[in-house]
């Protein structure tokens, strides 16, 4: 469930023409939940066309507020998180309190900004300027190590290239009809045979551009031979289903 709200849209304000981008991009961006994050239509604009405001609701979930985009604010992942009550129910059921989530697919990353897809359905993009005093992490492990420090960074960006993102997934499954190869641009091979409880689920090993090596997801010490390689995307959308978190 996602929560949207209007945050003081001025009379006569409207969304400017935004750049469309219909390719897979370069990776995934997460940001710290700031009171205000300016959103720019173009990298050289002096004024943002919208402001993303994030605040916690009285019920414990989070509200993502935009004045111009409103319901057209539809990034890669948007989840308001559990309320206090739903969190207690999940814990009683043996699960966890599900936190809020906000992820953007990155089109371009420079030292000054991230160009991100702000609406996945319409493929609309905008620009998030990089604040010079915010921490910039490249992996979740790097961010986790800083969170456990005596003075963790309150303001941060976590930009994972697709390589880092794919390699940290719990597992992936290959969409029907996607062939396996013995190497990138190599020969097609038969679909791998796996243990029954591992069927169709793999861990990503090496990533070489469009190609991802698939491993046995239960082979934690990487002693088994890789199952093969697949083209993990078709240029626009992934050829694999991705699972980041599993709750037992």
SS (H, E, C) 123-166: CEEEEEECCCCCEEECCHHHHHHHHCCCCCCCCEEEEEEHHHHH
User: How much is the pLDDT for 9?
Assistant: 38
Higher pLDDT, 220 or 124: 124
Structure token digits, residue 36: 């205000």
pLDDT in tens, 39-80: 999 999 999 999 999 999 999 999 999 999 999 999 999 999
Query: What pTM does this model have?
Result: 0.89
pLDDT at 230 over 70: yes
Structure token digits, residue 37: 């994050």
Sign of the alpha-carbon torsion through 66, 70, 73, 78? positive
Strands 135-137 and 156-161: parallel
């Amino acid at each position: 469930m996602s929560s949207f709200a209007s945050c003081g849209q001025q009379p006569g304000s409207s969304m400017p023409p935004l750049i469309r981008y219909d390719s897979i991009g370069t990776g995934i961006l997460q940001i710290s939940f700031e009171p205000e994050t300016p959103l720019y239509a173009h990298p050289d604009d002096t004024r943002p066309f919208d402001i993303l405001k994030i605040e916690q609701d009285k019920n414990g979930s989070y509200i993502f507020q935009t004045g111009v985009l409103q319901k057209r604010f539809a990034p890669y992942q948007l989840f308001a998180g559990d309320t206090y009550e739903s969190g207690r129910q999940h814990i009683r059921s043996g699960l966890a309190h599900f936190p809020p989530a906000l992820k953007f697919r990155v089109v371009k990353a420079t030292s000054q900004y991230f160009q991100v897809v702000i609406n996945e359905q319409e493929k609309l993009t905008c620009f998030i300027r990089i604040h010079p005093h915010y921490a910039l992490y490249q992996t979740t492990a790097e961010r986790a190590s800083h969170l456990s420090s005596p003075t963790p960074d309150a303001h941060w960006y976590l930009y994972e290239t697709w390589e880092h993102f794919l390699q940290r997934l719990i597992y992936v499954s290959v969409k029907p009809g996607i062939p396996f190869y013995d190497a990138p641009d190599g020969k097609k091979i038969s679909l791998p045979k796996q243990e029954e409880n591992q069927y169709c689920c793999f861990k990503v090993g090496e990533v070489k551009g469009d190609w991802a090596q698939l491993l046995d997801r239960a082979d934690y010490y990487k002693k088994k031979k890789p199952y093969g390689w697949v083209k993990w995307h078709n240029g626009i959308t992934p050829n694999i289903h991705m699972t980041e978190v599993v709750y037992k």
